[in-house]
Amino acid sequence: MAQAHEVNEQGYKIFKLGDFTFRRDEYFAHIGWPGGVHSISVENFLRALMRDVAWGFFYGTVSFDAVFGTTNHYGTVEVFVGLRNEAYWRNNKHFVQTFDSNQTTGIFKAILEDWTNEGFDPFAAPEETRIAFGPKHGSNRAAIERMRVTAKRMVGADGDATLRNDANGYKVNRQFAGYQPEKLEVHPEPGFENEVHAFDFFDYLMRSDVTWNPSVVSAVKHNLICATTEEYMLPVIHGNDRVEWFLQLSDQIDWLVYDGKTGKPRARVVAKAGDICAMPADIQHQGISPKRSMLLVWENGDSALPDLYASGKLKPYPVEF
Ligand code: PHB
Ligand code: FE
């Protein structure tokens, strides 16, 4: 249903979702609910909101910070304050409402569109975008309405035009400038020239203009392998409802790991190029990447998994040592 929006002094619309109110000023997003107000730097808020919208609320919980977030129930979504922060729920200061996912996406998209100023790209690394702050000036629909590119066959094989290179405008990111692409040799048997193909995946991925946005590059049954380039910090704290794996392809990401229910710090996992690690199903994690790096994320999309972990039928970690 269309809402009539009040516009504040800085030129931004005020949004409502159930009993939540969303306002922004020059520097902050202010989230109101009947029990209080929580404020987040609007830059962080828009970066987190961009992911929550683009990922369809992702697997499990997407927290914008230690207080505010969403939990995906695949059709409905919980929007919450303090649910994964012991100081809130122990003192009964948490607040949760469940909404239809499509309705919530609609409102979140409208916030993103109205609150993103000209020149600010919520997917870009901080050094590669203008700022989010200030009174309302313009918009940036091109940045927030990006569509993922879908290959028809293996990237670059005959009949597919999605290979990225200088000629089609995908420039090498400044932080991967030193990489020397591999010269790949392919020796197909006669008659299979059109079936066998290879390309340098680093040469492809280092041209990505977005950060912290995994894209599916291989799918086998429920197994989704997702590639992404990372720089600065994951704008959300992710509380997964299943185990996921990270294979660090280049450089380094440090994963800050917190308890899933209380939010208390639990570990710091240092992942260097070639390292692989699993994130358990009972934690929250946020990555930091001081230099742009490449990461493969392996998610299992089986919809039976959240219940199996929540009920304890599956242990929260994948391996017993
Ligand atoms: C994650 O929460 O597991 C995640 C999200 C986005 C990324 C990488 C990892 O780019
Ligand atoms: Fe995650």
**Distance between CA atoms of 84 and 239, rounded to whole angstroms?**
9
How far does the centroid of ligand 2 lie from the alpha carbon of residue 36, in Å?
Answer: 29
Q: Is 257 in the pocket of ligand 1 (CB under 6 A)?
A: no
Integer Cα distance of 16 and 70 in angstroms: 15
Full domain range(s) for residue 96: 15-144
Nearest residue to 101 (alpha-carbon basis) of 80, 81, 74: 74
The answer to whether residues 69 and 126 belong to one domain is: yes
Is residue 8 domain-resident?
no
State the closest ligand 1 atom to the C-alpha of 211, by its place in the atom list counted from 1.
Answer: 10
pLDDT higher for 321 or 115? 115
Are both 180 and 102 inside the same structural domain? no
In a domain, 140, yes or no: yes
- pLDDT of 6 reads 95
pTM of the model: 0.97
Which of the ligands is closest to the CA of residue 236? Answer: 1
Task: Examine the domain organization and report whether 282 and 189 are in the same domain.
Answer: yes
% the chain with pLDDT above 70: 99
Is the pLDDT assigned to residue 2 strictly greater than 60? Answer: no
- Say how many Å lie between the CA of residue 68 and the centre of ligand 2: 17
Task: Indicate whether 2 belongs to any domain.
Answer: no
Span 108-163, pLDDT tens digits:
999 999 999 999 999 999 999 999 999 999 999 999 999 988 999 999 999 999 99
Q: Is the CB of 271 under 6 A from ligand 1?
A: no
Render pLDDT for 227-284 as a digit per residue (tens, 0 to 9): 999 999 999 999 999 999 999 999 999 999 999 999 999 999 999 999 999 999 999 9
So what's the pLDDT on residue 30? 98
3 or 39: whose pLDDT is higher? 39
Give the pLDDT confidence score for residue 149 in this predicted structure.
87
Residue finishing a domain among 114, 144, 174: 144
| Closest C-alpha to ligand 1, atom 7 | 212
Cα–Cα–Cα angle for 249, 126, 122, rounded to 5 degrees: 90
Residues 288 and 176 grouped into a single domain: yes
Domain co-membership, 250 together with 294? yes
Please say if the pLDDT value at position 106 is more than 60: yes
In a domain, 233, yes or no: yes
The backbone torsions φ and ψ at residue 35, rounded to the nearest 5 degrees and listed phi first, read: -95, 0
User: Residue 5: pLDDT band by 50, 70, 90 thresholds?
Assistant: confident
Whether 116 and 205 map to the same domain: the answer is no
295 CA to middle of ligand 1, Å?
A: 9
Residues 279 and 192 grouped into a single domain: yes
Structural domain includes residue 321: no
User: Is 214 near ligand 1, meaning CB less than 6 Å away?
Assistant: yes
Residues 49 and 137 in one domain: yes
Domain assignment present for residue 159? The answer is: no
Quick check: CB of 54 below 6 Å from ligand 1? no
Is 320 inside a domain boundary? Answer: no
Give the residue from 144, 177, 195 where a domain finishes: 144
Atom 5 of ligand 1, nearest CA residue: 212
Average pLDDT over residues 168-184: 93
| pLDDT, the chain, mean | 96
Ligand 1 within 6 A of 52 CB? no
- 3-state SS assignment for residue 289: strand
Mutation test of ligand 1: which of 297, 298, 299, 300 has the most ligand atoms closer than 8 Å to its C-beta?
Answer: 297
Q: Are 301 and 186 found together in one domain?
A: yes
pLDDT at 50: 98
Beta bridge partners of 16: 21
pLDDT of residue 183: 86
| pLDDT score of 93 | 98
Residue 98 pLDDT > 80, yes or no? Answer: yes
User: Is residue 45 within 8 Å of 29, Cβ to Cβ?
Assistant: yes
Between CA 112 and CA 46 the distance in angstroms is 7
In a domain, 261, yes or no: yes
State the Cα angle at 162 between 160 and 166, rounded to 5°: 130
3 state SS for 52-70: HHHCCCCCCEEECCCCEEE
Instruction: Kindly state whether residues 102 and 186 are assigned to the same domain.
Output: no
Q: Which residues fall within 8 angstroms of residue 144, CB to CB, at 6 or more apart?
A: 50, 112, 113, 116, 122
User: Residue 225 belongs to a domain with what CATH number?
Assistant: 2.60.120.10
> Do 136 and 241 belong together in one domain?
no
Q: Which atom of ligand 1 is nearest the CA belonging to 236?
A: 2
Please count the structural domains in the chain. 2
Instruction: Using DSSP, state whether 43 is helix, strand or coil.
Output: helix
The β-bridge relationship of strands 28-33 and 244-248 is unpaired
Mark which of 109, 144, 179 sits at the end of a domain: 144
247 and 174 share a domain? yes
Mean pLDDT for 290-303 is 98
